[in-house]
């Protein structure tokens, strides 16, 4: 699986989205946001989320997001069909060799 070209992080203040950031190689997968610590004498609680990234699972600890690639759970039907066809072909070849050797042996004995 290829690394995503970007991810989107959303910043919330007291549960309300106040900003979103697109992180990529150009901004070194990071951002800086200056925000007030208090509003109306109350401390603001900031949290973040990440928009889903296909093929990855994310873990958020504070303001650090770690994406981990998910194991491949693809459809292997074509692979299994190819392996079955190969097995049949190899078995047929083996029988042809066995029969050819047997026939040659019978001709030599006659």
CATH class of 6-69: mainly beta
pTM: 0.63
**Pairing assessment for the beta strands 6-13 and 16-24 based on DSSP bridges:** antiparallel
- Return the beta strands (E) in 41-98 as ranges: 42-43, 46-50, 56-61, 64-69
The pLDDT tens digits for 68-104 are 888 876 666 666 666 666 666 667 666 677 777 777 7
Per-domain residue ranges for the chain? 6-69, 75-110
pLDDT in the model for residue 106: 77
pLDDT of amino acid 74: 64
């Amino acid at each position: 699986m290829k690394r995503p070209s970007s991810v989107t992080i959303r910043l919330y203040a007291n549960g309300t989205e106040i900003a979103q950031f697109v992180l990529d190689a150009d901004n070194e997968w990071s951002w800086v946001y200056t925000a007030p610590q208090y509003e109306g004498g109350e401390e603001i609680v900031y949290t973040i989320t990440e928009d889903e990234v296909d093929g990855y699972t994310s873990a958020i600890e504070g303001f650090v997001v770690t994406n981990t690639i998910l194991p491949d759970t693809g459809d292997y039907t074509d692979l299994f069909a190819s392996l079955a066809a190969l097995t049949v072909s190899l078995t047929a070849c083996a029988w042809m060799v066995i029969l050819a050797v047997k026939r040659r042996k019978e001709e030599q004995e006659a």
